[in-house]
Amino acid sequence: MFRRSILAGLTLPAIARAQAEFPSHSLRMIVPFAAGGSADVVARITALGMQEALRQPVVVENRGGSGGVIGSEAALAAAPDGYTFIFHTLSSAVLNAGLYRNLSFDVRRAFAPLVLIGTLPNIVMVNPRLPIRTLQELIARMRAEPGRITYASSGAGTPLRISRRICWQAAPVRWPRMCPIADPGQPSRTSSPGRST
């Protein structure tokens, strides 16, 4: 559900024509992740397009934390006047519904998906100083050196972590050690240079 905010942007011009007073002031786009990550970058590009179409500012507000839960709660607490919307991703909308037992809301009922604006692939990358050029070579290295390879992750329950589990289950090897990213909204960096994959 990378979806809610953008269809709002695409349908607002029609509303604006039907009701000349809307939007009469700036709109608020909540991004439930830290500034600088992939969701934030895509949200800001989208906000620029919406500003042009609506002729009103679209203010991007980053409310990161708890895998998108904090931003979701902020969006739900906003007045239901059409001026605040959320830029959900797969993890903040879809995965959270199955990962968190005590959410203060049911994501399936709380938000209406409007449009998919993009997809972001997960990519396996290695430190260029390592003599690894293919996934098969990485798996062979992990088997030869169990427990010595590390990887960067944005945390438990994120698409990166789930993709990693699927990958390593398909090729039975000892799972590499995770180096959590200090700020999951930022691009992946690890604390173990030279051995990191």
Look at residue 166 and tell me if it is in a domain: yes
98 shares a domain with 126? no
CB–CB of 46/32 below 8 Å?
no
What is the residue range of 74's domain?
4-110
Q: Establish whether the linkage from the previous residue to 23 is cis, with ω within 30° of 0.
A: yes
Work out how many domains the chain is built from and give that number: 2
50 shares a domain with 137? no
- Residue 178 is predicted with a pLDDT of 64
| pLDDT tens per residue across span 11-48 | 444 444 455 578 999 999 999 999 998 889 999 999 99
Comparing CA positions, the residue from 141, 136, 32, 30 lying closest to residue 85 is 30
Whether the predicted pLDDT of 194 surpasses 60: no
CB–CB of 96/157 below 8 Å?
yes
140 shares a domain with 61? no
The pTM is what? 0.69
Rounded CA-CA distance 54/12 in Å is 7
Residue % of the chain over a pLDDT of 90: 34
146 shares a domain with 179? yes
Look at residue 115 and tell me if it is in a domain: no
42 shares a domain with 129? no
Between 11-20, 129-138, 173-182, the lowest mean confidence (pLDDT) is in 11-20
156 shares a domain with 97? no
185 vs 24: which has the higher pLDDT: 24
Strands annotated E in the chain: 27-31, 58-62, 84-86, 150-153, 177-180
88 shares a domain with 54? yes
